[in-house]
Structure formats: C-alpha cells, structure tokens
C-alpha cells in the first residue's frame, strides 16, 4: 500500500556565464530570503500593482477577529464562496468565481508556496487543510494572477504563510482563549535570529465539545486538534560571494473529531436544529499529518536569484461514520430514526458505519529562477511532483436498540469496501514575464504540464491485493497561456484586464478522460489614495467542460464515489467589489470595509448524472449565491479596539435548477463582534462573539440532509508578547 519508490527528477535551469556578478552594471539588490520565496506577492510588492484579482490578509487583518476558521477569514475577499459544515472550519469548503466548494477541490491550496492538498493531482478533495489559526498571512489570487500556479488554474490560489522566524534575537508569543461549548485554544511560539543560525518553534492546540447534542447520549460532538511547527535556517555571511539560505521545516498535526455527515430531516431541524441522531454517536474522524520541507535560495548575481524546495507531505485519516440506517442511505434526505424504531418489530435498527480509511502521500521538488532585466521581471519555474491516495476501507454493522444503545454485530474486514490506489506524477514548467512599458505593465505567462494519473483497483473481494488490479490511466499534457495588462492612469488609479486558459486534470474515474477547460476574462479598476481604496472587477468564465467529482460529501452513491462527471459547456459571470476607508476623529479612528460579490451561473446544455442530477440548459449551479456581501466597521483608540462584522449570504440552490425550491438554502445574515484592550504594551485581553444575533440557519444540504450553522458563541482571550 506504499507509494511507488520516489525518484526525484531535478529539472535544472542552466544559466550561462552571464550570471556572474558583473553581468549587469546595476546597483546590487538586497539579499533575498527563504521566507520571501514562500510568498506569492513578495515582501516588497504592493498588491495594488499586481495584475488581476489579488488580495492579501496581513497579520493585522487576521488578528482583528482572530478566527480559527479559515472560511470566516476568507469572506472578506470578493469572489470567494464558502460552505459551512462543522462550524469550526475543520472541513474547509472553498470555491472561487463560481467553482464548486466541495472540499476546496477546485482551488489550488498552498502552504509556504508548496501544494498542501493531500493528493492535489490524484485526489484533490482536501480533507486536510492547513491550520488557519497559526498562519501569519494569507494570499489569494484569482484569474490571470493565478496563472503561474497549478494544477487547477480556473478558480484561483490560496497561499498560507506559516510562522516566519522572528527578526529579533529572541521573540515570542503566548495566547490562550476559552469560550462556550468547551472551546479552548492555546497558541505559542518562540524563536530568534542569529548571525548565521536562526530558528522558531510553534505550538497550536484548539478544541471544543461541540454545539450539537446527540439524542439519548452524553457523548460530545466536538474535536481536539494539535499542530506543532519547527523551522531552522542557516545563512551565509552578508558579504559572501553568493549569499545563500537553507531552511528546514517540519510540521506535525493530528485531529480527533466526533464529526458526522448525518444531518436532520426538515421536520427535525425545525423542532431542534442543534440535535444529532443517536445513530451517529460513534462517528469520528482521526487524522495525522506530517510535512517536511527543505528550502534553499541563492543570490547568483545582482540580477538573478534561484530558489529550490524539496517537500514531503504524509497524511492519513479514518472517518468512521454512518453510511446507512435500516438499509437507507444518508442521501435519502434525512432518516427518521424514531419512525424506523416504531416500524421495527423488535425496536432494533441495523446501522452501517463505514471506515473511510485512506492514506495520502504528496512529494516533489520545485525551483524558480527570478531574473531582473530592468523593465522585464521574469520568472522561470519547474516542478516535479508525485502523489497518491490509498483507499482501504470497510464497513462495520451495529444494532441500535430501543434504548438507543449501539452494539457491534459484525466487524468488517479492511479492504472489503473500497480497495484501490489513485496516483499521479507530473512535470510542470512555466515562464512569466512582467514587462513595464511606460504606464503599461504587461504580464504574459505560459504554463506547461505533463501528467499521468492512474488507478489500481482490487475491488471488494481481494483485501490482501494478491490479484492483478483493474487499471485505468489518463496521460495528458497541456499548455496554458495567460495575458494581463494594467494601465496607470495616474498615481492613484489603475485599469486592469486579462485573459487566461483555465484547466483541471481528469481524475482516473473520468471515463471520457476529458480535461476541465475554460477561457477566463476579467476587466476592472483599482483606486487607492490616502485612507480610501476601492476595487471593482468584472469576470467571465467560459467553460468548454466543467468537472464534478463524486464524493461522500456530495451525496454520491457508494459505487460512484471517486468518479468524475463532465457537465460540458458552462458560463459564469460576476462582479467583485471591495472598498475601504478609515475615518480619523483625532484620538479615535473608524475603519470601514465593504466586500460584495455578484455571481450568475448557467449550465449551457441538458444532461443527467449521479453528481448534478437532472440538469436542463439554463439551470443555475448549486451552492453559488447570486449575492453576498460583508461589512466591517470598527472603532479604535490608543489601547482599545472594537469591530462589528455583518456577513450576508444570499439564497442559493442545493441542486441544479431555476427559481424557488423547498430545498433551497435560505439567505442569512450573521453578525460577529470583537473587542480588545491593551493592559500593557505587550499584553492584551479580548472578548469575541460569533453570531451575535444567534441566527439559526441551514448551512448545507450537501450530504442529503440538513446541517445547521454555528450558533452564538462567546469567548475571552489573553495574549502576551515578548
């Protein structure tokens, strides 16, 4: 069940003797750093100067509300859609510009510039997501800005920047937080910079008992998650002939969460929205994640920097959760357990619990050469990558008696439910040129990917994998061009526009082996002056073919899990708008921020599939609201701050179609509040309330039944810095 032996292929970028220090008679550039190479924007790049849609959540932005849920943080960025599931952000569902949100599979997720999904080519559904609460910065690119990053280039890129080594000789932080429903968080780091050796160690733990109650049970519905990070860096002396840095990063995390896919019927939701059926009392997700990363940067000359990273990600998970009750699948629209008890002569119901046991491996090597040719800033990049998902599952059978106790009646044999390996290998090359020509900046890019995606399936009758497995293989290569132009009308106003080819590879379960391909356009403007900024962008995505990947979270039948369906031609159009202003009242300031996204989606042909159901030309996509906005207003003095956030998500369909439906997700407005006070220069206390108005709302029906959103939750915290 292990991956085929990994043979790293270093794709060398051979630089001629012109790379010597005297190749260009220009002022020497500053020494580069490993940390800067992890970022998309770079330490000295203004977001306003980037082509296309680009947004950055700085450390100050993230600390404003101090969310541990990545989806609450990302709603401040236009064109991003999130779909709540567990209420704490453990299962991130993120989409961009009309792409599906399911497990963030249509978005390229990175940590420190490295692909972070467990198997981004072979199985992109991200049941692992980097712990957002420990991140220092989050970068989001959409459209033409994201063209350098793959393998999925239609929606966009999220790059999460982990804790960087402090610039001081010694620095650190300790913060603690406690709140309702047993919520608790401990976060601390310590590190410092030496003359040649620097390091940092960080620990992050958070947990909760959960806000749902299992019927007839005292078991919790919460989680515990631990995340430990360490980095060590060596750098040469500043006056070395070739300044270099080498950094080693190791990160380990684990999670134990009593989570379920089992939602409620509409009637039970209306009666008690925060209840959970007793059949889900044994549901549990257990995960472990190990990341190793070795990065090297070298200043080859005044004009050239070369950065290389070798990475290894190992992720294992077993989501032990109800799949059938009384022979009825969870996708039937909610299971009425009380009625099943009444109809059973013995009062006993059979419950199937599936061990969704999987191991993932993702590893590779990537290198980027930055070249400065005066008015041309050029990047040459290469990556060799391998990943796999090893699915080795079984089903245990239980009896749920009339007193709602569950007794194991039959232990399944591992490998008798799903028993296969999906794997991929890929070579990616890109070149990107930023050409400054007067008031014009032209960004032209070309990305090439050559990939092989395979499946070996032993079926349900060969758990020892003794026979020759059924084999599927998709081999393809693709060339992806992009072009973006910005024009500086004056010092404050920029016009931007661009076009790119979007792409996602076919999964092994795609019988037609069809790529997801689109042509994506954007046009808009940015204005920034003093304390005021505004951005408006129109986008249009014209799909030749859109993918839908069948997962349990999308309510697919057992026999179709892992299959991929083609929707054919699809159109997505929209407007992204963001503005901010800070009003100065002297000793008090009032920052204001508004984010708005309008989206129209349309299937352009009629078809049937197990993923989308019966679709007619003209139907809207599921789970893409036509309107969503977020408004944040704050007040800040010398030692205190308060902020109120109002988040509106418009009505959206849970299935493809047009207009009203009993299964639509109603519009909702959720309000969050936070206040903080500095009790000393290096100490702060904080009071937070999520969902101040205690709005009760349907978060999703993606699992075939109703899942409720997070209720009002208060917490207090303390932070100490040194």
pLDDT in tens, 304-324: 999 999 999 999 999 999 999
The pair of three-digit structure tokens given for residue 77, joined into one six-digit string: 């960025």
CA 631, CA 578: separation in Å to the nearest integer?
10
Residue 332 CA, distance from chain mean position: 29
Q: Is 67 exposed, middle or buried (0-12, 13-18, 19+ CB in 10 A)?
A: buried
Q: What is the pLDDT of residue 561?
A: 63
Residue 133 CA, distance from chain mean position: 13
Greater model confidence, 673 or 85? 673
Q: Are 34 and 306 in contact (CB under 8 A)?
A: no
Torsion, CA 698, CA 702, CA 705, CA 710, rounded to 10: -30
Q: What is the pLDDT of residue 508?
A: 79
Q: Which CATH superfamily is domain 32-721 in?
A: TonB-dependent receptor, beta-barrel domain (2.40.170.20)
Q: What is the pLDDT of residue 332?
A: 62
pTM, full prediction: 0.92
Q: Is the pLDDT of residue 39 over 90?
A: no
DSSP 145-185: GGTTS-S--SSEEEEEE-PPPPSSSSEEEEEEEEEGGG-EE
The predicted model gives 98-110 an average pLDDT of 87
From the list 643, 605, 646, 598, the residue with the least C-alpha distance to 625 is 598
Instruction: Show me where the domains of the chain are located.
Output: 32-721
CA 61, CA 554: separation in Å to the nearest integer?
33
Q: What is the pLDDT of residue 52?
A: 75
The predicted model gives 22-49 an average pLDDT of 63
Q: What is the pLDDT of residue 555?
A: 54
What 3-state DSSP class applies to 357? strand
Q: Say what percent of the chain tops pLDDT 70.
A: 90
pLDDT in tens, 500-522: 999 988 877 676 768 899 999 99
The pair of three-digit structure tokens given for residue 258, joined into one six-digit string: 């009593």
Q: Is the pLDDT of residue 111 over 80?
A: yes
The predicted model gives 615-625 an average pLDDT of 94
Greater model confidence, 19 or 376? 376
Phi, psi at 116, each rounded to 5°: -110, -15
Give ∠ CA 510-512-513 in degrees, rounded to 5.
65
The predicted model gives 462-488 an average pLDDT of 94
Q: What is the pLDDT of residue 45?
A: 56
CA 28, CA 22: separation in Å to the nearest integer?
10
CA 270, CA 274: separation in Å to the nearest integer?
10
């Amino acid at each position: 069940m292990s991956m085929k032996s990994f043979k790293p292929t270093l794709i060398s970028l051979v630089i001629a003797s012109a790379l010597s220090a005297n190749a260009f008679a220009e002022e020497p550039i500053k020494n580069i750093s490993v940390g800067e190479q992890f970022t998309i924007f770079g330490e000295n790049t203004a977001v306003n100067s980037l082509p296309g849609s680009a947004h950055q959540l700085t450390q100050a932005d993230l600390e404003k509300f101090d969310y541990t849920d990545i989806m609450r943080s990302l709603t401040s960025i236009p064109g991003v859609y999130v779909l709540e599931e567990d209420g704490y952000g453990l299962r991130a569902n993120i989409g961009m510009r009309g792409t599906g949100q399911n497990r963030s599979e249509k978005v390229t997720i990175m940590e420190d510039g490295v692909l972070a999904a467990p198997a981004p080519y072979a199985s992109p559904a991200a049941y692992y997501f980097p712990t957002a609460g420990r991140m220092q910065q989050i970068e989001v690119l959409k459209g033409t800005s994201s063209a350098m990053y793959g393998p999925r280039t239609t929606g966009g890129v999220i790059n999460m920047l982990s804790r960087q080594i402090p610039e001081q000789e010694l620095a650190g932080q300790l913060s603690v937080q406690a709140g309702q429903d047993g919520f608790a968080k401990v976060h601390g780091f310590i590190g410092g910079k030496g003359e040649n050796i620097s390091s940092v160690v960080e620990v992050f733990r958070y947990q909760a008992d959960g806000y749902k109650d299992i019927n007839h049970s005292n078991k919790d519905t919460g989680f515990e998650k631990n995340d430990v990070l360490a980095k060590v860096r060596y750098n040469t002396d500043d006056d070395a002939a070739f300044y270099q840095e080498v950094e080693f990063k190791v990160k380990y995390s684990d999670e134990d969460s009593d989570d379920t896919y089992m939602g409620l019927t509409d009637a039970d939701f209306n009666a008690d929205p925060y209840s959970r059926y007793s059949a889900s009392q044994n549901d549990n997700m257990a995960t472990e994640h190990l990341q190793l990363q070795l990065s090297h940067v070298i200043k080859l000359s005044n004009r050239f920097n070369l950065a290389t990273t070798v990475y290894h990600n190992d992720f294992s998970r077993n989501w032990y959760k109800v799949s059938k009750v009384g022979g009825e699948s969870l996708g039937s629209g909610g299971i009425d357990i009380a009625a099943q008890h009444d109809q059973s002569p013995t009062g006993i119901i059979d419950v199937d619990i599936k061990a969704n046991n999987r191991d993932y491996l993702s590893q590779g090597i990537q290198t980027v050469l930055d070249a400065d040719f005066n008015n041309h800033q050029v990047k040459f990049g290469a990556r060799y990558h391998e990943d796999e998902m090893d699915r080795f599952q079984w089903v245990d059978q239980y009896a749920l008696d009339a007193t709602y106790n569950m007794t194991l009646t039959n232990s399944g044999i591992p490998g008798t439910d799903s028993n296969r390996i999906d794997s991929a290998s890929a070579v990616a090359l890109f070149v990107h040129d930023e050409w400054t020509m007067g008031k014009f900046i032209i960004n032209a890019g070309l990305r090439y990917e050559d990939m092989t995606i395979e499946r070996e399936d032993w079926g349900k009758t060969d758990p020892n994998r003794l026979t020759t497995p059924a084999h599927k293989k998709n081999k393809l290569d693709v060339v992806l061009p992009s072009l973006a132009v910005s024009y500086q009308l004056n010092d404050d106003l920029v016009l931007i526009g661009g076009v790119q080819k979007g792409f996602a590879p076919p999964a092994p379960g795609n019988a037609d082996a069809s790529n997801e391909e689109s042509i994506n356009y954007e046009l808009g403007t940015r204005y920034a002056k003093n304390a005021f900024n505004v951005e408006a962008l129109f986008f249009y995505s014209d799909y030749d073919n859109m993918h839908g990947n069948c997962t349990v979270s999308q309510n697919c039948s057992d026999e179709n899990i892992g299959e991929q369906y083609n929707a054919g031609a699809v159109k997505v159009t929209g407007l992204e708008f963001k503005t901010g202003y800070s009003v100065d009242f002297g000793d008090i300031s009032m920052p204001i921020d508004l984010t708005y996204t309008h989206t129209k989606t349309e299937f352009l042909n009629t078809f049937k599939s197990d993923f989308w159901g019966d679709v007619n030309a003209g139907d809207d996509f599921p789970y893409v609201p036509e309107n969503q906005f977020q408004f944040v207003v704050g007040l800040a003095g010398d030692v205190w701050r308060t902020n109120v956030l109002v988040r509106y998500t418009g009505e959206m369909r849970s299935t493809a179609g047009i207009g009203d439906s009993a299964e639509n997700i109603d519009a909702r407005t959720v309000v969050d509040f936070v206040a903080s006070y500095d009790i000393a220069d290096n100490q702060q206390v904080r009071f937070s309330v999520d969902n101040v108005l205690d709005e009760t709302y349907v978060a999703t029906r993606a699992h075939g039944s109703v899942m409720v959103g997070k209720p009002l939750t208060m917490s207090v915290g303390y932070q100490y810095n040194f």
